[in-house]
Amino acid sequence: MHDFRYVGKKLFCEGVAVETLAKKFGTPLYIYSQRTLTDHFQKLDRALAPLDHLVCFAMKSNSNLSVLRTIANLGGSFDVVSAGELQRVIAAGGDPRKCVFAGVAKTEAEIEFALRKGIYSFNAESEPELQRINKIAARLKKFAPVAVRVNPGVDAYTHAKITTGTYENKFGIAFEKIEGVYARASKLKNLRLRGLQMHIGSQVTKTSPFEEAVKKVSPLVRQLAEKFELEFFSIGGGLGIVYEPALASGSNSWWKSAAAKNILTPQKYADRLVPLLKPLGLKILLEPGRFISGNAGILVTRVEFVKRTGKKNFVIVDAAMNDLIRPAFYDAYHEIVPLTKKAGAMIASDVVGGICESGDYFAKDRPLPKVGEGDLLALMSAGAYGSVQSSNYNARPLAAEILVNGKKYAVARERQPVKEIWRGEKIVAWLK
């Protein structure tokens, strides 16, 4: 379910016409629905109600302060991957003592910062990292709560750039090695072994890889929990969403039919996993990112030109890969719809940005209604891994972000003033 739909001919986000926002705030423009964020968080949270659990939103998917505050207000917590993200949590009014800290390359400064802020757990990805955390904790006269990320060696059947649970990846420690790692870590005096963590990949669209991983790791968790008095087992994130047809998936009836089909829903996920997890008697942590934020956001863009080359119909828009890199980076699909519904024949079109890269495209040979200069389009499902990966390539300012709640809306991030792009840069003295 999400809250982007046509009312008559106009695309709405909740109670607000998207066109109103595009006219008022300009384009490219990210728009987030608070109700969708809330609904997705609560669907998961409620499905897992039979477990003692904590939903830690993977904020690398969308770290806008208003998005974080929405999650924090719902009782959610955060999976952070840098000290910068932890500072964002604090800036958004979240509680660092409920956060987990993931990532393969935590620096000494990051570990110290997180320890001082009372992080709930470091999810460590190597033995040198455990030693580093121990050393810093000793220096600060603290005990560092840690979990080790187990690489369960299962295939998540997702895109190569977002699969993480096989031994081809840089993530975690191989399943077979974990016991030895815990035995050695237990001798490091300033560590407190608090849990075990895993994450098999992203945009996983079936329950079976999750089930397989939980089944494989559960006996190990049970054994480690007993030996080292662990408190939690984190089963990671990775729940996939529907990108196609994104718009139709906003309706209730679509979800009813999804439940019957081979589509991942929180209820199916919980139905399969709760019976496996409940007997462990541990607190269960979840780290969903995309599932919560993905369908809660769109990127609105304006058509600048339509260019026909004889072979192709290029729709050239004012958003580009610096605003949304997913198609270029992961061959990702985003449904593209006009803000004003159009009748008439569809034309196979390439929707492209203005950046000097052939990779700068949003869609290829996509059937689109006939559009012209000034028409406004929405790239659906752009709430996760969208704005967070944006850059200033080609000296393009970062897009503005709007949060909608019912009929209310407000700027959640101002459009970046152009001069901010080179703030901090200098013409070195000998050039003057």
Ligand X SMILES: *Cc1c(COP(=O)(O)O)cnc(C)c1O
Query: Which span sits near ligand X by CB under 6 A: 231-239, 300-308, 340-348, 396-404?
Result: 231-239
Return d(Cα 196, Cα 225) in angstroms, integer.
Answer: 9
Number of amino acids touching ligand X (CB under 6 A): 17
Residues 6 or more apart in contact with residue 330 via CB below 8 angstroms? 159, 161, 162
Binder to ligand X among 14, 110, 129, 287 (CB under 6 A)?
A: 287
In the complex with ligand X, the residue whose CB is nearer, 110 or 287, is: 287
Binder to ligand X among 33, 36, 61, 82 (CB under 6 A)?
A: 61
In the complex with ligand X, the residue whose CB is nearer, 289 or 397, is: 289
Contact call for residues 368 and 346 (beta carbons, < 8 A):
yes
Query: Which span sits near ligand X by CB under 6 A: 10-18, 135-143, 287-295, 322-330?
Result: 287-295
300 binds ligand X (CB under 6 A): no
Give the C-alpha distances (Å, rounded to integers) separating 261 from 26, 140, 205, 216, 287.
Answer: 39, 53, 12, 26, 25
Return d(Cα 299, Cα 27) in angstroms, integer.
Answer: 9
79 binds ligand X (CB under 6 A): yes
Binder to ligand X among 32, 122, 182, 291 (CB under 6 A)?
A: 291
326 binds ligand X (CB under 6 A): no
60 binds ligand X (CB under 6 A): yes
The structure tokens listed for 236 are: 């990671």
Site for ligand X in 374-403 (CB under 6 A): 384
Site for ligand X in 93-112 (CB under 6 A): 102
Query: Which span sits near ligand X by CB under 6 A: 233-241, 256-264, 343-351, 422-430?
Result: 233-241
Return d(Cα 307, Cα 313) in angstroms, integer.
Answer: 6
Contact call for residues 257 and 242 (beta carbons, < 8 A):
no
165 binds ligand X (CB under 6 A): no
Return d(Cα 379, Cα 390) in angstroms, integer.
Answer: 15
In the complex with ligand X, the residue whose CB is nearer, 58 or 332, is: 58
What is the DSSP pairing of strand 283-286 with strand 53-58? parallel
Which helix H or strand E contains 32, and what residues bound it?
Answer: strand 29-33
Query: Which span sits near ligand X by CB under 6 A: 43-51, 220-228, 235-243, 273-281?
Result: 235-243
Query: Helix, strand, or coil here: 100?
Result: strand
322 binds ligand X (CB under 6 A): no
202 binds ligand X (CB under 6 A): yes
Going residue by residue from 116 to 155, which x/- string records binding to ligand X, judged by CB under 6 A? ----------------------------------------
238 binds ligand X (CB under 6 A): yes
CB burial of 202-220 (b: ≥16 within 10 Å; e: otherwise) equals bbbbbbebbebbbeebeeb
Binder to ligand X among 76, 209, 288, 353 (CB under 6 A)?
A: 288
Find the catalytic residue in 13, 56, 99, 356: 356
**Catalytic site includes residue 356:** yes
- The alpha carbon torsion through 169, 244, 71, 265 (nearest 10 deg) reads -80
CA atoms within 13 A on the CB side of 104: 9
**DSSP character string of 70-93:** HHHHTT-EEEESSHHHHHHHHHTT
290 binds ligand X (CB under 6 A): yes
Residues interacting with ligand X, by CB under 6 A?
58, 60-61, 79, 102, 199, 202, 236-239, 287-291, 384
Would you name the residues annotated as active-site residues?
Answer: 356
